Amino acid sequence: MGENKEEKEDEKEKGKEEEKTQEEKTEKEIEEKQDEKLNEYGQMTLDAGREKQKIHLLSIIGEVEGHENAPGSSKTTKYDHVLPSLAAIEDNEEVQGLLVLLNTSGGDVDAGLAIAEMIASLSVPTVSLVLGGSHSIGVPLAVSADYSFIVPTGTMMIHPVRMTGMVIGASQTYEYFEMIQDRILSFISGHANIGYEQVKSLMLNTKMLTRDLGTVLVGKEAVEQGLIDEVGGIREALRKLRSMIGGQGERR
């Protein structure tokens, strides 16, 4: 009888050890997947806070890549990676909010607007944070969130649409340029505290950039112009998003 009891206890201990080993293995696999997702797509899930809220982190860095691949040496954000991720966020009941980190030089207009429209249409609270810079098509991306922040040294550049490759010298070409710019201006004025004509005047400013049209706004200037809601860093951005998730913050 004593031997049977000892055998049962040994089996019980062995089962506990196997269960613990399996849990550690599962945790390690989850961590490896998160690391892989961060390295490959610049995305991860934040869920270690005191409130245990599940926040998806999306970073938009370098050049926003469209239908054509950028040079291999360029740091890029691929819209064909980002769009499915945003759709998955909307479909996932566990994800409670989205934090977008921006440090981009701009890129493909259609790709940038596609991402911006997706962020703007999410049902979960969203907050953006401009770090370094959010230039060109990065401006619509920054204002697409429900609430936006910019660090004191962050910059935003608004300038007319540029095109590479062959351009046909006809009136229709300039009309097409204006149509693209109208899409950008309409989105910005529709998602920020700034009017259409005001954004247009910043875009066509001839006094700041010596070899180009446009305006560069640094930190507080972007807030004063109505593009960004507040000057702040990661602490303020996360605090705001958590309050919005908790129902304390207003969404635009």
CA-to-CA separations, 96 to 93, 155, 205, 208, 252, in angstroms, rounded: 7, 29, 40, 41, 17
Q: For 199, what's the count of Cα atoms within 13 Å in the CB-facing half-sphere?
A: 26
Q: Is 67 part of the annotated catalytic residue set?
A: no
Q: Is the dihedral of CA 233, 235, 238, 240 positive or negative?
A: negative
> What's the rounded Cα separation, in Å, for the pair 178 and 161?
9
Q: Is 191 part of the annotated catalytic residue set?
A: no
Q: Where are the beta strands (DSSP E) in the chain?
A: 43-46, 55-65, 76-78, 97-107, 126-134, 147-150, 155-158, 215-218, 230-231
Given the residues 136, 144, 148, 189, the one annotated as active site:
136
Based on C-alpha coordinates, what's the Rg of the chain?
23
Q: Which residues contact 214 (CB under 8 A, 6 or more apart)?
A: 157, 158, 159, 160, 202, 203, 204, 205, 208
Given the residues 59, 134, 135, 159, the one annotated as active site:
159
103 within 8 A of 128, measured Cβ to Cβ:
no
CA-to-CA separations, 81 to 73, 88, 125, in angstroms, rounded: 19, 11, 21
Give the catalytic positions in this structure.
136, 159
